[in-house]
Amino acid sequence: MAFADFGDRITVEAAPDLTLEITGPQGWGLSATDNLCLHAARALHPTRGARIMLDKYLPVAAGLGGGSADAAATLQALSQLWNLPLPQSAAILKLGADVPVCLQSKAARMQGIGETLTPIALPPAHIVLANPGEAVATADVFNELDTRADLVDRDTSPLPIIPALPDVQALAAFLKDQRNDLEYPAMLLCPEIAEVISELEERKGCLLARMSGSGATCFGLFADEDSAYWAARMIGQHHKHWWVRAGRLSDA
């Protein structure tokens, strides 16, 4: 898991009741009554009130861990507002497998169901994220993985030990030999993923293009900011309904 230098924004204020307000260009359709931010607040304290504001910039169900990051930010913000310690690790993990690493917001290898985290030192790297405007539910992808298991020769070997990565070229070379078990079932649900990867690969300076998480967002690794910026601009011009952003790895 690696973190970009952009995302959603969580703001909290003291209030007698617990409420959630959702704004932002990607906030449409999200429930303000059944949301991970509210679940996170109740995990911290079951009865205290606060006004939570979620300014949503990341697309929903996009394979970016946005909901988990929002829950982690809510825990951190309310912990300060209410002057309470964070919940026990078991309670945090119940919110979602990605929430523990999102609380740290540092690149890490995740093992188990998200409870075992090993820090990773990443080199400076620029990225382009592109989503074809399709929501792909993680549960649906895992279900497709199970039901289509007989159609693909699955490699179940574990990820190797991650070597020293002195630069973005070394990072790209390492990742080229790895896999994403969810890519095949995600493409069955959203064939546009293949087009997104192809668009990223064709851009000057792209060292590697892969699907992010369970999709449908894909990422491209770039060595410099200008290449990433122009790749994002060109893809956005050619596919105006896609969500496209350029940035960098936040802890690299």
Kindly list the structural domains of the chain, giving each domain's residue range(s) and its CATH number in brackets, ordered by start.
Answer: 9-111 (3.30.230.10), 121-248 (3.30.70.890)
The residues, ordered by sequence, that sit 6+ positions from 189 with a Cβ below 8 Å of its Cβ are 136, 140, 141, 144, 215
Greatest pairwise CA separation for the chain in angstroms: 55
d(CA 227, CA 222): 7
**Can you give the pLDDT of all 252 residues of the chain as single tens digits?**
999 999 999 999 999 999 999 999 999 989 999 999 999 999 999 999 999 999 999 999 999 999 999 999 999 999 999 999 999 999 999 999 999 999 999 999 999 999 999 999 999 999 999 999 999 999 999 998 887 665 555 667 778 889 999 999 999 999 999 989 899 999 999 999 999 999 999 999 999 999 999 999 999 999 999 999 999 999 999 999 999 999 999 764
Residues 6 or more apart whose CB falls under 8 angstroms from that of 220 comprise 127, 128, 130, 200, 201, 203, 206, 207, 208, 209, 228, 231
The per-residue pLDDT for 153 is 59
What's the confidence (pLDDT) of residue 158?
78
Cα–Cα nearest to 125, from 107, 100, 109:
107
Cα(84)–Cα(60) distance, rounded to whole angstroms? 30
- State the residue for tokens 């802890």: 251
Rounded to two decimals, what is the model's pTM?
Answer: 0.93
List, edge to edge, every strand of the sheet that includes 18-23.
Answer: 9-14, 50-55, 18-23
